[in-house]
C-alpha cells in the first residue's frame, strides 16, 4: 500500500536499510577533523538571502537559478542555505570567535543543503555534507592540512578510485589582469546573451559551464596559471610540496574554478571515476575575501565540503560494504505475563548500565519472538517463563553458537557485561 504523500521531487528518505552506512560515512569524514582540533558548529538551515548573494556570488547558478527563497515574513527575506561556508563565517563573526586570539578558528559541521537542481542520481535538491573551515590564517600548511584530512577520510572508508584536482585562482593582485584577458577572449566567441552577461560579471563562471557547445569554444582560452603573481606562484608551490611530502597524489587542473565566487588561491575538487557525469564527491579552497564581502574584517580562510550522498554512491561503485555493529546486544523474550514485567524491568536496567537491549513486544509466542531476536542482530537472547522465574533464573542464549545457560537474576547484568567485553 503506497502512501498518499510522497517525498518532494529531488529529495529522498534515508531509511534504516542504508542509514547505518550514511552514519558511518559521516563519522568517517569527521573523524580526521576531530583529531586535528576542529570543533563542531551548527547553523540555521535558513539565512538572510543577502548572505548568499554577496558571499556565494550574484552571477553563480546557485544564486540565480538554484536557491530556495522563502516567503517574506515581516521585512525579512530568507533563503534555505545552498552551502555552509557563508553561514559558518557569519556565525564566527556574530559570536566574535575570531577575536579570541586563537587563530585560526577551526570548525567542522554536518548538515543538509538545498538547491533547486534538476533531479538525477547523485544530484538532489536536498543533500548532505560534512565540511570544515579554518578561519583567520593565511598559511599553505593550513590548505595542505585540510586536503590531507579529506584524503585520509576517504582512505579510511576504503575508497581507491578517487582523484584530486588542484588549481590556484590567484588573488586580488593578479586575478583582475587575468579577468580582463579572459573577458577579451570570451567576447570573441559565439555565446548566448546570458553567457555573455555572465562573462561581464564574472568570466571565470564561463569556464565552469558544463555545456559541450560552450566548452568546445574554450579551447585556447587564457589560463590563470599563466597570470599568477609571484606571491601566488610561491604559495601554490608550497601547497604542492607539502602534499607531495605527505604522499598525496593530485592532478593540476588549470581550468578548475568550482561554482562559487569567493574562492582565491588554492582550489581543489575530489572526483570519483565510478559516478558518471556527477563525478564530484567533494571540494573546497581558500576564500580570503569572503569575510569582507559579508561585512566583516579581513579574515583569510580555507575550507572544504564533502558530499555524504556522493560518498555513499562512490562506496557502492567500488563494491564496498561498511560493516555495521549490531544495534542490540541483548533481545529479551518473555513467556507469560509475569516474565514480561520482569524482563521489561531487566531491559530497562541493562540500557541504563550502557548495554543495548530490545524486547519482544506484542505478546508473541516463543518461535516468532526468537525469529525477531535473530533478525535484530543481537548476540544474546534472554528467555524466561514461570518456571525460570520461580527459581530466580533467566535463560541466556548465545545466538551465535546456540549455547544456552541459566543465569541468576541478580547476576544477569554483571554476567552480560563480562560476556560482551
Residues of the chain with CATH 3.40.50.800: 330-420
Task: Give span(s): CATH 3.30.930.10, the chain.
Answer: 16-174+228-317
Q: Nearest to residue 213, comparing CAs of 195, 227, 197, 226?
A: 195
Task: Tell me which CATH homologous superfamily contains domain 16-174+228-317.
Answer: Bira Bifunctional Protein; Domain 2 (3.30.930.10)
Q: Give the torsion sign (CA, 135, 278, 63, 82).
A: negative
**For 14-46, how does the pLDDT look when each residue is reduced to its tens digit (9 = 90+)?**
998 889 899 999 999 999 999 999 999 999 999
* pLDDT reading at 274 higher than 90: no
What is the reported pLDDT for 146?
98
What is the average pLDDT score of the chain? 90
Q: Helix 16-35 vs helix 308-317: angle between axes, to the nearest 10 degrees?
A: 110
| Assessment of whether the complete model's pTM goes beyond 0.85 | yes
* The three three-digit cell numbers of residue 49, written as one number: 538571502
Mean pLDDT of 52-75: 72
Q: Does domain 330-420 have CATH number 3.20.20.70?
A: no
Pairing of strands 280-286, 301-307: antiparallel
Q: Say if residue 369 is preceded by a cis peptide, omega within 30 of 0.
A: no
Contacts of 55 (CB under 8 A, 6+ apart): 85, 86, 89, 262, 290, 293, 294
Strand partners, 251: 165
- Classify residue 31 as exposed, middle or buried by CB count within 10 Å of its CB (0-12, 13-18, 19+): middle
> In terms of Cα–Cα distance, which of 37, 229, 42, 227 is closest to 142?
37
Write out pLDDT tens, residues 181-220.
Answer: 988 999 988 888 888 888 888 788 788 777 888 888 888 8
- Model confidence pLDDT, tens digit, residues 278-317: 789 999 999 998 999 899 999 999 999 999 999 999 999 9
For 298-307, what is each residue's pLDDT tens digit?
999 999 999 9
pLDDT tops 70 at residue 326 = no
Q: Which residues share a beta bridge with 192?
A: none
Amino acid at each position: 500500500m503506497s502512501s498518499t504523500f510522497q517525498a518532494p521531487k529531488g529529495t529522498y528518505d534515508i531509511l534504516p536499510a542504508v542509514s547505518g552506512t550514511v552514519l558511518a560515512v559521516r563519522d568517517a569524514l569527521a573523524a580526521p577533523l576531530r583529531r586535528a582540533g576542529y570543533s563542531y558548529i551548527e547553523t540555521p538551515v535558513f539565512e538572510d538571502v543577502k548572505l548568499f548573494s554577496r558571499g556565494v556570488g550574484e552571477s553563480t547558478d546557485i544564486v540565480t537559478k538554484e536557491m530556495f527563497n522563502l516567503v517574506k515574513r515581516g521585512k525579512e527575506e530568507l533563503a534555505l542555505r545552498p552551502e555552509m561556508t557563508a553561514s559558518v563565517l557569519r556565525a564566527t563573526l556574530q559570536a566574535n570567535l575570531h577575536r579570541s586570539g586563537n587563530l585560526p578558528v577551526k570548525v567542522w559541521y554536518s548538515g543538509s543543503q538545498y538547491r533547486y537542481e534538476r533531479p538525477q542520481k547523485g544530484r538532489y535538491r536536498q543533500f548532505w555534507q560534512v565540511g570544515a573551515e579554518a578561519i583567520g590564517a593565511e598559511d599553505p600548511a593550513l590548505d595542505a592540512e585540510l586536503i590531507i584530512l579529506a584524503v585520509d577520510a576517504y582512505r579510511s572508508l576504503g575508497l581507491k578510485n578517487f582523484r584530486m584536482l588542484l588549481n590556484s585562482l590567484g588573488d586580488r593582485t593578479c586575478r583582475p589582469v587575468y579577468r580582463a584577458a579572459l573577458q577579451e577572449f570570451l567576447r570573441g566567441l559565439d555565446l548566448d546573451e546570458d553567457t555573455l552577461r555572465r562573462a561581464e560579471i564574472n568570466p571565470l563562471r564561463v569556464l565552469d559551464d558544463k555545456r559541450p557547445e560552450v566548452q568546445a569554444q574554450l579551447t585556447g582560452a587564457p589560463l590563470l596559471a599563466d597570470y599568477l603573481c609571484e606571491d601566488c606562484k610561491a604559495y601554490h608551490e608550497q601547497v604542492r610540496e607539502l602534499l607531495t611530502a605527505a604522499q598525496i597524489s593530485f592532478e593540476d587542473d588549470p581550468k578548475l574554478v568550482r561554482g562559487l565566487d569567493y574562492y582565491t588561491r588554492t582550489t581543489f575538487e575530489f572526483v570519483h571515476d565510478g559516478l558518471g557525469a556527477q563525478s564530484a564527491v567533494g571540494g573546497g579552497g581558500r576564500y580570503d575575501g569572503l569575510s569582507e564581502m559579508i561585512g566583516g574584517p579581513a579574515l583569510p580562510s580555507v575550507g572544504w565540503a564533502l558530499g555524504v550522498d556522493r560518498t555513499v554512491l562512490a562506496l557502492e561503485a567500488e563494491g564496498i560494504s561498511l560493516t555495521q555493529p549490531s544495534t542490540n546486544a541483548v533481545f529479551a523474550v518473555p513467556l507469560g505475563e509475569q516474565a514480561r514485567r520482569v524482563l521489561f524491568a531487566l531491559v530497562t536496567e541493562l540500557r541504563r548500565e550502557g548495554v543495548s537491549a530490545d524486547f519482544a513486544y506484542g505478546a508473541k509466542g516463543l518461535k516468532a519472538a526468537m525469529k525477531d531476536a535473530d533478525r535484530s542482530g543481537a548476540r544474546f537472547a534472554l528467555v524466561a517463563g514461570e518456571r525460570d522465574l520461580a527459581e530466580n533464573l533467566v535463560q541466556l542464549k548465545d545466538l551465535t553458537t546456540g549455547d544456552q545457560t541459566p543465569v541468576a537474576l541478580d547476576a544477569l547484568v554483571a554476567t552480560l557485561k563480562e560476556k560482551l567485553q
